[in-house]
Structure 1
Amino acid sequence: MNKDFTVEHTNYCKGIAIILMVIHHLYWNSPGYGIYIGQVTLSQRIAAIGKVCVSIFLLLSGFGLAKTLKGKLEIKHFYFERLLKLYLNYTFIVITSIIISLVFFREEYSNLVGSGLKEVILIILNLSGLQYFIGYQGLNGAWWFMSVILVFYLLFPFIKILIEKYKIKFVVLFFIISCLDIVQFQHIKIVTIISWGFPFVLGIYLAMNNIFIKIYEYIISKRKGAKKLILIFILIISLIVKQNMDPQSFIGIKFDYFLAFIIVLSIYIFYQNIIIGKKIICFLGKKSSDIYYLHMFISYYYLYDLIYSMNNIFFMIISVIAFSLIWSLVLEIIRKIIKWDEVILYCCRYVKKVKGETWE
């Protein structure tokens, strides 16, 4: 086994996370689908676990940034390339989604955003990516995530420096800070946004200290069979505990921090033993960003009646993912037509030129 945590591992983890997200949004508030286990359906139990997808994505984001940006970090260069690219890709999805909605789902879109000044304000808020600061999730309920990831991309260079200096002490301190969201404010979400950053911070720490590799080396050193069984046991117990929690509760979200780490670690350790569906899940992982930002248009807004009329768990999940991939394919075609990669490169160069920087 290649000991390094590779892009393939990352894509597989993202693929699992996006499936969990679709299940969470389909069934958490929709009881009665599938077989019952006790008083609750299996679909709702998995949906309760599914909220962990957010922590998985944040952990992988922090991990990926730290892994690819080891050594001295040029802050301006990071902002010009990484942050600007992240923001431009998000605005592309917002703008194209609005256009597609107006063309194919005009009535549903109008019901969603209204008209006149209200529509203009909502569009501006969504384009900013900062809408969740005032408790507004966005035209698409999943877009609140952009407010979180934007903040932590901004903070990444400073978090990296603090972890280099204080190591695990800073991670522990940030976990304590993340617990401040035990007090919730309806229209002021900065505390909630900061609290969601713990998996991101943890991911940075894991990458900077090669924690996954160290755990792997410890497991294979001796009695690896017993150690792998212990990891499986911890994973199963964690999943059982999580499916009995309210995924939106304070404890449920904090438990997700731990569960996300266990899921990602388990995938890394057992990846070579996975023989079914690996390519499909990795493909979903590659497309996870588009699916993340688009799937709620399918399941909640535009094709709600069609999806829930199927009354079959498997076909409902597959349909949401398939329609999201079709939408993603349309966006990919648009990207190629307008040469989106060149647009991003031009914008990065222009910003650097305005700021008096040279492009290398």
Structure 2
Amino acid sequence: MIHVGILKGIAILLIVAFHICGQIYHSEPKWFRLLSYQGVPVFFLLSGIGLTYSVLSKNFGDKKINHWGKWYLKRSIRILPLYWLILFITFSLYFIDLNIIRIAVSQQSEKALLDFVVHFFLINIYFEETYFSINVAWWFLATIVHFYLLFPFIFSVYKHKINRIPSVVLVIVFYYLNKNYHFINNQIALSFMYFFLGIILSFINTTKFYNYIKKYSLVLVLSLFFLSIFFLCSLRGNISNYFPKYTYELFSLSFTSFLYVSSHLLVYIQPLRKVNYFLESIGSYSYALFLVHWGFIYPIINYFDTTQVGIMVYLVFVLSLSKLLTIIDKKTTSLLMIKTKLSV
């Protein structure tokens, strides 16, 4: 699915832009922050789509529990080794020289070690003080891993048609109950909605769905684009008074949908094939880029006094490092898959 690679590339570039502008240019326009942050829900959406598609294509949803055990092991091999490696390197660089890498961690060694342990086991999202610690972007990984743990249960329930409408209602109620409870609860609940939406999309007849998008792609893209602009403007104007509680959610859903449909449309635009190749290439090492990009923003860009040169040097560095780490990770993953007798 070429459009998935393109969408991954778009999403990770949005996230990198969000963190660069947020950490360097504190007075950047609110509209840009809102737009660039939507790379996050796109990744939750893609995770739901990818997991469901992989299970449906192999048709092992009704088989014995040991198949889910192998499924968990396979996902763990693909996610954890690279994360643990970068976590260890991040901590090592931090204690060698505080200026080498940006890290949000306690100056007290005992608490720093506890921070490391909490992140090692990906339970940092359970505690407010560790939610954004070490690396402010890593809350996403801890959250998505928890969704992975829940996925077999969600899939087993949703695959039965009789459960689908009640499941959707429960997810919406879950979000509503958490919306005003706490920022962290709200963020996780909204992320789960996008993950669940990805599962729903994967159960739709693939051929008919893609043909529909292809046929009406231009109309859908333009409609979703203007709808996104409307909700974006309403977040800053008086229009939001008519639906103040859900303006952001409506904007996020419309803009994420715009990106999703646009990725399908880009595949068929021949003059943009080089752009598509670039985005797909970025998407192929988006996981490594996600893990490393935040830590190097301050030391590299600030060295050049936040000039355009500094930003370019930073981008070249993190993109090159991410590509190298992805190559290493793929070889490591292949070896581990062979050792555990799993298919790559």
TM-score band, normalised by shorter chain: 0.7 to 0.9
User: Distance between the aligned counterparts of 1:107 and 1:218, measured in 2?
Assistant: 50
The residue number in structure 2 matching 1:46 is 32
Q: How large is the RMSD of aligned CA atoms in angstroms?
A: 3.2
User: Distance between the aligned counterparts of 1:241 and 1:58, measured in 2?
Assistant: 24
Equivalent residue letter for 1:144: W
Change (3 A) 1:109 1:203: closer
Change (3 A) 1:250 1:68: same
Residues 15 and 283, structure 1, Cα contact 8 Å, conserved in 2 = yes
Aligned residue for 1:203, secondary structure, equals helix
The residue number in structure 1 matching 2:8 is 14
Residues 20 and 47, structure 1, Cα contact 8 Å, conserved in 2 = no
Change (3 A) 1:287 1:118: same
Identity %: 23
The residue number in structure 1 matching 2:241 is none
User: Distance between the aligned counterparts of 2:166 and 2:261, measured in 1?
Assistant: 22
The residue number in structure 1 matching 2:320 is 326
**Normalising by structure 2, what TM-score?**
0.80
Residues 291 and 325, structure 1, Cα contact 8 Å, conserved in 2 = yes
Aligned residue for 2:293, secondary structure, equals helix
Q: What is the CA-CA distance between 1:144 and the residue it aligns to?
A: 0.5
Q: 1:303 aligns with which of 294, 300, 303?
A: 300
The residue number in structure 2 matching 1:56 is 42
Aligned residue for 1:129, secondary structure, equals coil
Q: 2:81 aligns with which of 74, 88, 111?
A: 88
Q: 2:170 aligns with which of 169, 173, 185?
A: 173
Change (3 A) 1:334 1:80: closer
User: Distance between the aligned counterparts of 2:289 and 2:135, measured in 1?
Assistant: 12
Equivalent residue letter for 2:228: L
Q: Bigger CA drift: 249-258 or 148-157?
A: 249-258
Q: What is the CA-CA distance between 1:194 and the residue it aligns to?
A: 3.7
Q: What is the CA-CA distance between 1:329 and the residue it aligns to?
A: 4.5
User: Distance between the aligned counterparts of 2:304 and 2:229, measured in 1?
Assistant: 28
The residue number in structure 1 matching 2:242 is none
Equivalent residue letter for 1:86: I
Aligned residue for 2:92, secondary structure, equals helix
Equivalent residue letter for 2:5: N
Equivalent residue letter for 2:86: I
User: Distance between the aligned counterparts of 1:326 and 1:110, measured in 2?
Assistant: 21
Equivalent residue letter for 1:13: L
1:245-324 aligned at under 5 Å gives the runs 245=235, 251-253=247-249, 255-273=251-269, 274-299=272-297, 301-306=298-303, 309-310=306-307, 312=308, 318-324=312-318
Change (3 A) 1:155 1:255: farther
**Structure 1 residues 218-271: Cα deviation after superposition (integer angstroms, max 9, x where no partner):** 356xxx4xx44421322321331354438xx96425642343233112211342
Equivalent residue letter for 1:279: Y
**Structure 1 residues 299-325: Cα deviation after superposition (integer angstroms, max 9, x where no partner):** 2x4334136620x4xx56544432212
User: Distance between the aligned counterparts of 2:68 and 2:328, measured in 1?
Assistant: 32
Change (3 A) 1:16 1:168: farther
Aligned residue for 1:50, secondary structure, equals helix
**Structure 1 residues 124-183: Cα deviation after superposition (integer angstroms, max 9, x where no partner):** 122121202212223111001012101110011111112112234423431332232322
Residues 179 and 195, structure 1, Cα contact 8 Å, conserved in 2 = no
Residues 124 and 139, structure 2, Cα contact 8 Å, conserved in 1 = yes
**Structure 1 residues 18-51: Cα deviation after superposition (integer angstroms, max 9, x where no partner):** 1111222222473556xxxxxx5xxx53332111
Residues 16 and 285, structure 1, Cα contact 8 Å, conserved in 2 = yes
Total equivalences in the alignment: 320
Q: Bigger CA drift: 128-137 or 103-112?
A: 103-112
Aligned residue for 2:137, secondary structure, equals helix
**Structure 1 residues 39-94: Cα deviation after superposition (integer angstroms, max 9, x where no partner):** x5xxx533321111111001111101111111223322211222453233322221
The residue number in structure 2 matching 1:23 is 17
Aligned residue for 2:17, secondary structure, equals helix
User: Distance between the aligned counterparts of 1:107 and 1:164, measured in 2?
Assistant: 49
